[in-house]
Amino acid sequence: MRSFYSDKNPFINKKKASERIISISVVMLSFASVIAAAGCNVLQAGSGAEENQRFEKYTGELFRSEISSDTVSLHYTLKDPAAYGISGCEPTFGTVVSDAETVKASAENMQQALLEYTYDDLDVQNRLTYDLLNYQLKMMKKQADYILYEEPLSLVSGVQTQLPVVLSEYQFYNREDVDTYLELLETTGDYFDQILEFEREKAEAGLFMADYAVDTVISQCQAFIDMGDGNYLYSTFVDRVGEVDGLTEKEKSDYIQDNALAIQDNVIPAYEKMTADLEKLKGSGQNEKGLVWLPEGKEYYEILVKQSVGTDRSVEELEDMTRRQITDDLEAMEQVLGITAEEAKETAAGMEQGSAELILSHLEDGITAAFPEAPETNLEVKYVPEAMEEHLSPAFYMIPAIDNTGENVIYINQAQMGDDLTLFTTLAHEGYPGHLYQNVYYESTDPDPIRSIFSFGGYTEGWATYAEMGSYYLMPLSKEQSVLLQKNASIILALYALADMGIHYDGWDRMAAVEFFKNYGITDAETVERIYELIIGSPANYLKYYIGYVEFLELKKDWIEEKGDAFSQKEFHEAVLNVGPAPFEIVEDYMWKVLEE
């Protein structure tokens, strides 16, 4: 399922978006509908150019079917669906599915369809797409038995917090978009009812969230309800409808009234009902600790890590890799003599960095020597509404439609921007050379549209974290200060990753987590408690950021070893960016091939 935004994870700088509005099971099921449309055309093998055309026709049908399965995915992926042969879709948020056998049958049928193509006759890009499809289908089958372990109401990136942001950024390119949006709002209650039924199934299976997590979700819903007339879904609609060409003032006024009624009659009641129904489910979740304490929870966590991070390493290997990187970072810090982390932070915080726009301009200029050139694009910086600051990430980048990459938005959560150092590194994560740069650059390579429906959090968040860590060296600091701050940030994130694995795989309870952080000088009980609960509510989330980042470092080490004195930062970055979002084993395999193509 395509992600709608990528976020800066909580606590990284104080001390995430991922990501989905529709349950992953919806994606699994929607592939099945393509088999009838595309699978029937894969009987006659060709060779060379013919086989590539045949395969691309197939992926085109697959893309159209998948992206049409829900209105939000369609609208956020394509500005002009008609140009891709898509029209007449009923407004819907999608269907939440919990039947494992349906998912496995769909995956099996899709794999059979793939076998109709001659892999060796495909060019490099089509082989890459083939491998990614095959990887996704294998993961579908592995995850199918654990559908009820999924959590659409996760504490970091659940539907309850994502939906308002996604709706507020739903662009109106014409009158039809406004009509579709208003019809979509009317389906909010039905969609939430599906989610609540899914949660009831989880409760019956003994897999429902703990009461403190329920309280957090309820508070997030209540924050949205309590906005009242100041709800930003009113004001943002007025702004968007005001820019639609061809509407009279009377029509705009009527639409504004229709939107207000749709929110009052459909959206707010859906949140109120969710709050009430979740309250009734309190007490159903008996496990207040990690996934390992659930039946087959350890096995599920292993699959979740593989899927969300895109790594083929075992959890034990990831723990070892994390500890080795902490050791390397500590050794680098020890070489910086006479400076403390606090002194370096004070120096950085005292610098006049300017506005977010000025920082982004500085970052864009600063990366030209080490990163390939990306196309010119437009960017608007927006700020999270005050009422939602407590419940949203420090920042997030709204991923634009693949046929409209010239329009980009980064949201900043001012309540979580403690100082200019935090703002600078956050904008590197979200902007240059992070999410915005990576997305715009990759789309300029003209990838198969089917690639846009996949979500590989380890690659996207790992790259943004890699970009963030590199940004310390673009600040007006001494090399020693930059090293100290960057390694300190890396170690803090590593601790969260180790805690994630410790809680969900090794079985740490709250006291074990407290002792772990205490050993590294983090003793504030409230902070540790909040980190613990966020990790419980969003398992493997921190691993996307940290393990993804370290995987990029490992890829760079391999590249340096292979290239020797001929090593070029820009060439390495070009190689991994040209592969695009993918599991790291596939990135490693193809980053050599894409430059030779």
Same domain, 222 and 142: no
Q: Would you give the end-to-end CA distance of the chain in angstroms?
A: 28
Residue 19 lies in a domain: no
- What integer pLDDT is reported at residue 495 of this predicted model? 96
As for how many domains the chain has, the answer is 3
Same domain, 253 and 311: no
Same domain, 473 and 325: yes
- What integer pLDDT is reported at residue 286 of this predicted model? 85
Check pLDDT > 50 for residue 34.
Answer: no
Same domain, 176 and 67: no
Q: What is the pLDDT of residues 311-329, one digit of tens each?
A: 999 999 999 999 999 999 9
Check pLDDT > 80 for residue 381.
Answer: yes
- What integer pLDDT is reported at residue 33 of this predicted model? 32
Measured from the Cβ of residue 355, the count of other Cβ atoms closer than 10 Å reads: 10
Band of residue 395 on the pLDDT scale cut at 50, 70, 90: confident
Q: What is the pLDDT of residues 192-234, one digit of tens each?
A: 999 999 999 999 999 999 999 999 999 999 999 999 998 999 9
Same domain, 349 and 474: yes
Lowest mean pLDDT, pick from 39-48, 355-364, 472-481: 39-48
Rounded to whole angstroms, how far apart are CA atoms 234 and 262? 10
pTM above 0.95, yes or no: no
Residue 17 lies in a domain: no
Residue 322 lies in a domain: yes
- Looking at 229, 255, 284, the residue that finishes a domain is 284
- What integer pLDDT is reported at residue 419 of this predicted model? 77
Same domain, 257 and 333: no
- What integer pLDDT is reported at residue 43 of this predicted model? 35
CA atoms within 13 A on the CB side of 431: 31
Residue 503 lies in a domain: yes
Strand, helix or coil at 155? coil
Closest CA to 323 of 546, 529, 98: 546
Q: Taking residues 236-251, report their average pLDDT.
A: 95
Same domain, 441 and 577: yes
Same domain, 412 and 530: yes
Rounded to whole angstroms, how far apart are CA atoms 554 and 542? 18
Residue 482 lies in a domain: yes
Same domain, 412 and 533: yes
Closest CA to 187 of 18, 400, 34, 22: 22
Of residues 133 and 339, more confidence is placed in 133
Q: What is the pLDDT of residues 519-572, one digit of tens each?
A: 988 999 888 998 998 899 889 999 999 999 999 999 999 999 999 999 999 999
- Tell me which residue range forms the domain holding 266: 172-208+211-284
The rounded Cα 475 to chain-centroid distance in angstroms is 27
Q: Are 421 and 489 in contact (CB under 8 A)?
A: no
Sort strands 395-398 and 378-383 into parallel, antiparallel or unpaired.
unpaired
Same domain, 443 and 306: yes
Of residues 593 and 9, more confidence is placed in 593
Q: What is the pLDDT of residues 415-451, one digit of tens each?
A: 888 778 889 999 999 999 999 999 999 999 999 999 9
> What tokens does 431 get?
């902007």
Residue 492 lies in a domain: yes
Residue 3 lies in a domain: no
Same domain, 439 and 574: yes
Residue 257 lies in a domain: yes
Closest CA to 195 of 98, 101, 89: 98
Same domain, 329 and 260: no
What's the mean per-residue pLDDT of the chain? Answer: 88
Percent of the chain with pLDDT over 90: 74
- Looking at 227, 255, 284, the residue that finishes a domain is 284
- What lies within 8 Å, CB to CB, of 437 at 6+ separation is 364, 367, 371, 374, 431, 467
Q: Taking residues 147-154, report their average pLDDT.
A: 94
| Count of helix runs (H) and strand runs (E) in the chain | 26, 4
- What integer pLDDT is reported at residue 3 of this predicted model? 59
- What integer pLDDT is reported at residue 129 of this predicted model? 97
Q: What is the pLDDT of residues 44-68, one digit of tens each?
A: 445 578 999 999 999 999 999 999 9
